[in-house]
Amino acid sequence: MVLPQAWLQPRYKKNTYLFIYYLIQFCGHSWIFTNMTARFFSFGKDSMVDTFYAIGLVMRLCQSISLLELLHIYVGIESSHLLPRFLQLTERIILLFVVITSQEEIQGKYVVCVLFIFWNLLDMVRYTYSMLSVIGISYAALTWLSQTLWMPLYPLCVLAEAFAIYQSLPYFESFGTYSTQLPFDLSIYFPYVLKTYLMVLFIGMYFTYSHLYSERRDVLRVFALQKKKM
């Protein structure tokens, strides 16, 4: 069997891989959002309490796979800046795996449901835009939405993350999770680590927000110029 010449081109292979990756992420986040919406209309506020138990596994899978994006940027198959993406992914990984997964008492809090809604709204739009972009399809409304939706939602995400960490502090203090006694009378008291991380979280938010705003300006400018040429 002879493959078409285009299939053997590195650019085609790269775009095919990225399209499949974005499609998988879109399907995962769409499933989570649809599941959460259906459960809310079926069970009302009660569904918010067991959000993590219902969709936590798929959420952890999607966020774990998203670490591939750092590799994409590093090897050059995705054009983006490494540090801002690293900060965004680190925020989610720390909160999801270190804070929420380790403390069962936090998993039933309303803030977890709110946070998952914010994350999925952002990711469904972002992955839809990215998926269509790699195959050369663009829509003005989708481009604008993907470059604008994060402006109100990203700060709300950070606030929700900070609130979840704040609510988790008493449990880390009570159970001593991740707190460790080291040699030479040294110790790691994890609640202090989380309190320090809260300050880093807001510093990182300022840096990431500034980068995303600059990126939004550039993308919308280029998109406007392309529309004029058509």
User: Given 22, 129, 154, 197, which residue is catalytic?
Assistant: 154
Q: Is 161 a catalytic residue?
A: yes
Q: Answer for the pair 72, 89: CB distance below 8 angstroms, yes or no.
A: no
C-alpha dihedral sign at 138, 142, 146, 151: positive
DSSP string, 103-160: -HHHHTSHHHHHHHHHHHHHHHHHHHHHHHHTTT---HHHHHHHTTTHHHHHHHHHHH
Active-site annotation holds for 173: no
Task: Kindly calculate the radius of gyration of the chain based on its CA atoms and give it in whole angstroms.
Answer: 20
Among the listed residues 139, 161, 192, 213, the single catalytic one is: 161
CB 165 within 8 A of CB 197: yes
Which pair of tokens denotes residue 124?
């469904």
Residue 215: partners with Cβ closer than 8 Å, 6 or more residues away: 147
Cite the active site residues.
Answer: 154, 161
